[in-house]
Structure 1
Amino acid sequence: MIKDKIKIVYPNLFDNELLNEFEELGLLKRFHQNDIIIDIDENINGIPILLSGAIKIMREDFDHGELLLYFLERGNTCSLTIDCCLENKQSKIRAVAETDGELVMLPSVKMDEWLAKYKSWRKFILNSYNNRLDEMLETIDNIAFNTMSDRLKKYLLDIASINKSKFINKTHQEIAYELNTSRVVISRLLKALEINGFLILNRNEIRIAEF
């Protein structure tokens, strides 16, 4: 069952022998929106591969606020989690379900063995690192060079894309928390974006006009 689900997401990538190991050792896990999948300072015992849904990866700052780093979507894994597995370190991120979904958790104790044994696993891990590095660089550029208004627009478009809907059901406070700013700032910027025609503010709902 597990290997069939992974083959749908990744056709022709993994060796049959490796897929059989996934089937034997993997654990299917369903999650719901806002579930904490991995928490900060948690010991990492498994490597998640996302089969459906979306997960947001958050980083805690020195003042115990949080910043959204990137989203994981179908077929992704978290390279920061892989790094913790390889180095036997505690998690430095919080993974929170953005939507309902399903993942398979693979045992971290098999990481070194699979890296040495399976070319397809090495390719998967390296591609995952490269993809997450690109996303991290994009996040850094976004914070360093873009205004908060630009960051907010990108965030809203990302959420709309993930949910495949122009309607966003998040409070101003939730958005502020994920962008590590204040609710007052977000409310002011949302109003400005509405005036510019980018979105429409409804009660407890934001509609992206340009999506």
Structure 2
Amino acid sequence: MEELLIDLYGGQFERELLQEIAAVGVFKNVPADTVLMDFGQYVKSMPLLLKGAIKIMREDQDGDELLLYFLEKGDTCAMTLSCCMGFTKSEIKAVTETDTQLIMVPVQHMESWLGKYKSWRGFVMDSYHDRLMEMLDAIDSIAFMNLEDRVMKLLAEKSQITGSKDVRNTHKEIAQELHTSRVVISRILKKLENEKRIALHRSHITLL
């Protein structure tokens, strides 16, 4: 596990910090579509993402979900940090988008490292900033983009994450992530196909 950490964070974290993470962290291989954290749970560990992608969802009063942003290799979740350090229940849901490798760091070590390692403090602050920017981007998309553009943006993000032009999500899954109905998404996808921007298949969508 220490070799994985060095490959990913070797130029960012002190050697002593990498050794501590390897000693106390719990390595996990998690398949796609696995719920890592759900609404209302207490969070006792923070994930360091080594490989794969995780989508972060928010829930409204009716129990419907909205995609906020994706976490990728090298990322962590600022909202997880807040829940851990404040001992509060999670207000987000984290689900693996692809097969994922991560290290779970217990909360008590996270706090002690803030005072012990300058690189860790910087990493935490950068994580807060990055997630805030992604939250603002999600708000801008909802406020200023039409649904057709939001669909294309989501498909492009998923394509970038997987490194493939084939997006293997159902119309229902895309509708849930964008907080709309499957019928509306199916109509938009058909329109995008007619415009030669995507190709629809039985099990996936291809970006053209």
Confirm or deny a common fold (TM above 0.5).
yes
Q: 1:183-206 CA distances to partner (integer Å, 9 max, x unpaired)?
A: 010011001111111101122221
Total equivalences in the alignment? 208
1:125 maps to which residue?
124
Deviation of 1:90 after TM superposition, in Å, equals 1.0
2:4 maps to which residue?
5
2:47 maps to which residue?
48
Q: 1:37-57 CA distances to partner (integer Å, 9 max, x unpaired)?
A: 111111111010000000000
Give me the whole-angstrom Cα distance separating, in 2, the residues matched to 1:110 and 1:100: 26
Give me the whole-angstrom Cα distance separating, in 2, the residues matched to 1:14 and 1:205: 39
Q: 1:143-189 CA distances to partner (integer Å, 9 max, x unpaired)?
A: 11100111000000001111111111111111101111000100110
1:104 maps to which residue?
103
Helix, strand or coil at the partner of 2:138: helix
Helix, strand or coil at the partner of 2:28: strand
Deviation of 1:113 after TM superposition, in Å, equals 1.2
Gaps of 5+ in 2: none
Helix, strand or coil at the partner of 1:191: helix
Deviation of 1:105 after TM superposition, in Å, equals 0.5
2:200 maps to which residue?
201
- In the superposition, the TM-score normalised over structure 2's length comes to 0.97
AA aligned opposite 2:94: A
AA aligned opposite 1:155: L
Q: 1:65-119 CA distances to partner (integer Å, 9 max, x unpaired)?
A: 0000000000000000001111111111110010001000011112221111110
More off after superposition, 102-111 vs 12-21: 12-21
1:32 maps to which residue?
31
Deviation of 1:7 after TM superposition, in Å, equals 1.4
AA aligned opposite 1:134: M
What is the CA RMSD across the aligned residues, in angstroms? 0.9
Gaps of 5+ in 1: none
AA aligned opposite 1:32: P
2:67 maps to which residue?
68
Give me the whole-angstrom Cα distance separating, in 2, the residues matched to 1:23 and 1:50: 14
AA aligned opposite 1:119: K
